[in-house]
Amino acid sequence: MTSTPGQKPSEPSPLGQTRPWPQPSKAGKASFSIPGKDQIAETAYKIWGSLDSGKIPLIILHGGPGIPPQYLQTISLVSIDYGIPVVLYDQLGCGDSTHLPERLHDDTFWTPQLFMDELDNLKNVLGIKEFYLFGHSWGGMLAAEYAVAQSKGLQKLIVADSITSMDRWIKVITDLRSRLPEDVQETLRKGEEEGRTDTPEYEAAVMVFYKRHLCRIDPFPEELMASMGALEEDNTVYVSMYGTSEVAVTGCLKYWTIEKRLHEITPETVPGGILLLNGYYDEAQDEAMEGFFRLPTARVKWVQFAQSSHMPQLEETEKYIKVLAAGALWCLVTVGHYLSLLWVFVKPSGIRRYLKTRDGKPAWALITGGSGGIGKQLAHELATIGFNVVLHGRSQQKLDVVKADLARSHPNRQFRTIIIDASEAFDAGATCGSWLASLQDINLTVLINNAGGATDATIASLEQLKTEKLITDISVNSVFPTLLIRQAIPLLNQSPAGLILNIGSLADLGIPLGGSYPAAKAYLSKLTEMLSREARIAGHNIEVLCVKVGQVWGTGQTVTEAQDFFSPDASTMAKAVIRRVGCGRSIVVGHWKHTLQFEVMRLFPSFLLDSILIRIVTGWDMDKENKKTKGE
């Protein structure tokens, strides 16, 4: 994200607030014993909603430092619209909390740790165990410090209109000041050089900056004016920590940075990830914010408000509330996702339900691509469980070898073979009906579409590949299974329950240089979802499942020549596929190692995922070229 706003008269002002914020459900003060100071203070707080509702509350840290949070009260609308409890409090030294004017310029007192201790104390007083933490401007800096400290109970971090270091902030402010009218720049410069930042001329010049980059609503909303008025009455914290004005940084935070510690914000410490918010005209420009996006290892989402500056909660209120609530609710969705994912690997396989038949005779499974690799191992697994197996392939010789091996290992099971060349999908589709008709004498309860994979492990761009290969990969991985399923559904419906199991691929993420194979596998995933819904509409008792696999060793289709940690062998992969049956999803990644790969890739934003996939595939290509050169 980049933005270089230079406000023009023709640019529309933001809509602002369209409705009043609600009155708090509760207000009070929490006693706070200041660590190491032998002093008792009070923290004033307000609560919207109920902390006993069972929902995770949103705790709000206001900016400044030392600017009371009237300007953030619009955020309480999330409690009305989405039922999320909201806690908003006045940090020490401002608002209705204890004021300490005698601590002016006391750099040893006004530290981020002081305010972290205050937050911990308030949580304990209110009995809050789990929470979302929102920080605006200075509050975002404080929230980041709190997250880096890996405080227990933090579920999601929301950083709004904030910075990762004062160096970046000063650079951004200097750049924005340089775009102000020359006379305004001169007034600011003169006032700071002479130490006269309290003159009407200087304050008027600062207001020009504020109207561009603090809040674009004119006149300023009442809530913002109330906060700014309170700052004028007591600016102890602001002057001590920040400086004399928004455009002059002289306080004890002048050299603050958190950039070297942001990597400590991880998926484990902040399971719901990070939500970043800022405005296009914000004084917290993207350059000041981007470290929050780049440096943590936790998942990050960034939303920018096109018509806002530093106060999007006042400038584009309705949109802001929706984004904020979605971010909080996304945390619940994320946690639920990983809990359900864990259940997928804990839940026992449901494959045995397909052993039941109406006439009590043995159940049969049809496996395409059964002459080797995963298909062969799936046949062994199903025979062990109790299924008879029909093996499909295009080489009778290979199928005979596999059939003989199965017969030796499972003498109490029956095995058949069928020859069809899936690469000639339309011809194969025309004959599917006839050879499926030959199976009318058996109870077919399971169909596994395993035939597929790339016809070879060629790494090349689309225009470099022959038409024959492109069509073959589409035929084998998309057209053939579609036509086969169409013909097999009536047979599967003759049993109490049926299973259509499609072997998918992680390549459907969009692996480049894979020809038509990744797209063909993506089609198979979508076909699975469609058929699963159609089965429900038609009332068919058929489970439709796509199990995605990554690289599998021993199939002859790996692009690397050495087995690695993420490449299970075909037997292990077949066992994992069978275990996923009945998992409750229509699409699932089969092996836990491949799941780990997939879930890590899901965490990356699209532009990073693009770069990662490109580097992986070009690395494969380089390995092949190096080996080819050495061989020559």
pLDDT tens digits, one per residue of 319-353: 999 998 887 666 555 665 666 677 788 889 999 99
Residue (of 90, 85, 89, 22) closest to 58 by Cα position:
85
Q: Which of 161, 282, 473, 508 is catalytic?
A: 282
**What gap in Å lies between CA 356 and CA 38, rounded to an integer?**
75
Return the sign of the alpha-carbon dihedral for residues 231, 235, 237, 243. positive
Beta pairing class for 39-48 and 86-89: antiparallel
Q: How many CA atoms lie within 13 A of 130 on its CB side?
A: 15
Beta pairing class for 39-48 and 26-34: antiparallel
pLDDT bracket for residue 9 (50, 70, 90): very low
Mean pLDDT over residues 417-446, rounded? 80
**What gap in Å lies between CA 91 and CA 127, rounded to an integer?**
18
pLDDT bracket for residue 626 (50, 70, 90): very low
Mean pLDDT over residues 56-78, rounded? 96
The Cα-based distances of 315 to 16, 72, 172, 521 in angstroms read 4, 12, 21, 46
Query: Per residue in 360-401, pLDDT tens?
Result: 999 999 999 999 999 999 999 999 999 999 999 989 999 999
Beta strands in 239-323 (DSSP E): 274-279, 300-305
Residue 316 tokens read as 């584009």
pLDDT surpasses 90 at 573: yes
In eight-state DSSP terms, residue 236 is: H
Query: Per residue in 450-472, pLDDT tens?
Result: 997 654 556 778 888 888 888 88
337 is catalytic: no
pLDDT surpasses 50 at 538: yes
Residue (of 321, 341, 327, 260) closest to 299 by Cα position:
327
Per the DSSP assignment, residues forming a β-bridge with 417 are: 391
Residue 424 tokens read as 């000639």
Higher pLDDT, 5 or 290: 290
Interaxial angle between packed helices 138-148 and 112-126, expressed in degrees from 0 to 180 and rounded to the nearest 10? 80
The H or E element that residue 429 is part of is: helix 425-437
Mean pLDDT over residues 476-498, rounded? 93
pLDDT at 628 (0 to 100): 38
**What gap in Å lies between CA 341 and CA 355, rounded to an integer?**
26
Q: What are φ and ψ of residue 162, in 5° steps?
A: -125, -170
Q: Exposure of 298 by Cβ count < 10 A (0-12 exposed, 13-18 middle, 19+ buried)?
A: buried
Query: Per residue in 126-155, pLDDT tens?
Result: 999 999 999 999 999 999 999 999 888 999
Report the mean per-residue pLDDT for the chain: 88
pLDDT at 458 (0 to 100): 62
pLDDT at 206 (0 to 100): 92
227 is catalytic: no
Phi-psi region at 579: left, alpha or beta (left = phi > 0; alpha = psi -120 to 50): alpha
Mean pLDDT over residues 476-495, rounded? 93
Residues 6+ apart with CB under 8 A from 460: 513, 515
pLDDT at 616 (0 to 100): 74
pLDDT at 554 (0 to 100): 64
pLDDT at 79 (0 to 100): 93
pLDDT bracket for residue 627 (50, 70, 90): very low
pLDDT at 3 (0 to 100): 42
Residues 6+ apart with CB under 8 A from 297: 263, 265, 266, 267
Return the sign of the alpha-carbon dihedral for residues 178, 182, 186, 192. negative
Query: Per residue in 279-311, pLDDT tens?
Result: 999 999 999 999 999 999 898 999 999 999 999
pLDDT at 625 (0 to 100): 44
Residue 215 tokens read as 């809040």
pLDDT surpasses 80 at 199: yes
How many percent of the chain have pLDDT more than 90?
A: 66
If one counts every other C-beta atom within 10 angstroms of the C-beta of residue 623, the result is 15
What domains appear along the chain, each with residue ranges and CATH number?
26-338 (3.40.50.1820), 349-595 (3.40.50.720)
Q: Which of 79, 137, 308, 516 is catalytic?
A: 137
pLDDT bracket for residue 606 (50, 70, 90): low
Mean pLDDT over residues 72-88, rounded? 94
Q: Which of 62, 213, 310, 591 is catalytic?
A: 310
The Cα-based distances of 473 to 459, 513, 520, 621 in angstroms read 14, 14, 7, 20
The Cα-based distances of 308 to 221, 482, 571, 615 in angstroms read 14, 50, 57, 37
137 is catalytic: yes
Taken as a whole, the chain contains a residue count of 632
Q: How far apart are the first and last CA of the chain?
A: 47
Question: Is pTM beyond 0.85 here?
Answer: no
Mean pLDDT over residues 406-433, rounded? 83
pLDDT at 121 (0 to 100): 98
Interaxial angle between packed helices 286-294 and 166-177, expressed in degrees from 0 to 180 and rounded to the nearest 10? 150
The Cα-based distances of 458 to 454, 465, 517 in angstroms read 8, 9, 11
